[in-house]
Amino acid sequence: MPSRRELLGMSTSSDGPNWSEFQWSRIFGFIGGVSVTVLYFWVNLFQYMSDCAAAAIGSVPVGFLLYSFSSQSWQTCMKIAVGTAIGTGLGAYFWVTCRDLFS
């Protein structure tokens, strides 16, 4: 039995791109990651916040960019970004604390 597409004479191949096949969440993740990175360097949060918080916030664009370039789920990329933020924040805190103790 012929399909409806064959009966109507519709061609099976499209002339343009199939927009539903694009992974829009990953594309928007890339655009968001680049935008937040530019904003992070443009605002220079180290002037307005403590070193620990400003360093930790820097991992937000890393999470967006990781999601856009990898095949991992957004939950996994979020866990990596939060872990990086905690590690970077604690590292910056101990760097500032130990630098003040030994100088």
Let me know if residue 11 belongs to a domain: no
Task: Say what the pLDDT of residue 101 is.
Answer: 75
3-class DSSP state for residue 22? coil
Q: Which amino acid is at 28?
A: F
Q: Cα(47)–Cα(31) distance, rounded to whole angstroms?
A: 26
Average pLDDT, the chain: 86
pTM for this predicted structure? 0.72
Summarize pLDDT for 9-53 with one digit per residue, the tens. Answer: 766 566 677 777 788 899 999 999 999 999 999 998 889 988 889
Let me know if residue 83 belongs to a domain: yes
Beta strands in 12-94 (DSSP E): none
Let me know if residue 13 belongs to a domain: no
Number of domains in the chain: 1
Let me know if residue 46 belongs to a domain: yes
Let me know if residue 41 belongs to a domain: yes
3-class DSSP state for residue 103? coil
| Cβ-based neighbours of 74, under 8 Å, separated by 6 or more | 25, 29, 67
Let me know if residue 15 belongs to a domain: no
**61 is in which domain, residue-wise?**
23-101
Task: Say what the pLDDT of residue 13 is.
Answer: 60
